[in-house]
Amino acid sequence: MANQLNQGSKNKTRPLSKIILGVAGIFVVICGVIVFSFFYKFARPYFEPKTQIIIEPDYSQVSTVNPSDLETAAQILNARCLSLGCGISFVVAENNQIIAQAPISMSNNFTGTKIAIGLLEIVDFGETPIPDGTTIATDFSYKYFPQVGGTKWHTVITNSEFESANVTQDKFGNYQISFTLTSNGTKILSDFTTINVGHYLGIVLDKVVITAPKVNSPITDGTGVISGKFTKEIAESLAVYLNTKGPLPIPLLAK
């Protein structure tokens, strides 16, 4: 009788052991997929064959170049690429050039293009909704942007007042940028939005309107969300510009 009970107990234990082993196996597989995805996204570019890209000041806008501006520009570009995991390194070389060692698969994204200055401004549009994609003038001076006519809008804060920014998704799966401001940025935006409820606040990158939501209530805690019709890539780029404190000190061209 005792042997029969022991045998029955063993028979019950075996299915339970199989279930535990099965769950553990699924967990290991999931962890493996996560690790592989992380490696594929962030580490793969560092192992790809590299090609050299030459970046120079845009001499149509600058006549003399300060070496310290080139060093600062290289640091900003490195910070941007580190945030994006794009596997590109930038170093200052002779003849006022910045040399980039880029994965071959990414080289076409740079060749023959202007490098984004990366100045992000929060701009007061008052009661005027400005369409996305509009190039505007603001009272924040950066001499290398083309001059445009019309109203010169007031810049409330720039990316220098952002502590951190991350890409998130809302409940509908839309991409957005969640941000935290510095203590100084928190006070500036709190004071402004407290007395300007109903105004449109433009999110402006390199003087081009990205989105312009209306202030529905004061933003006093130094956190918020920038939402719009963003793809994942655009949202990640905006977050990078907020995190790397730009703008570039001089305009650059990739050859």
pLDDT in tens, 38-81: 444 544 545 556 678 889 999 988 888 999 999 999 999 988 88
CB 118 within 8 A of CB 69: no
CATH architecture under which domain 120-245 falls: 2-Layer Sandwich (3.30)
CATH topology for 47-114 is Ribosomal Protein S8; Chain: A, domain 1 (3.30.1370)
User: What pLDDT score does 125 carry?
Assistant: 96
Q: How many helices and strands, by DSSP H and E, does the chain display?
A: 5, 12
At 38 the pLDDT is 43
DSSP letter, residue 219: -
Average pLDDT of the chain, as a whole number: 81
Residue 111 confidence class, pLDDT cut points 50, 70, 90: low
Q: What is the pLDDT of residues 216-249, one digit of tens each?
A: 899 899 998 888 888 888 888 889 888 887 789 9
Split at pLDDT 50, 70, 90, the class of 128 is very high
Count of C-beta atoms within a 10 Å radius of residue 116: 17
Q: Residue range 168-183: average pLDDT?
A: 92
For the chain, give every domain's residue range. Answer: 47-114, 120-245
User: Residue 34 in 3-state DSSP?
Assistant: helix
47-114 and 120-245 have identical folds: no
Q: What's the confidence (pLDDT) of residue 42?
A: 47
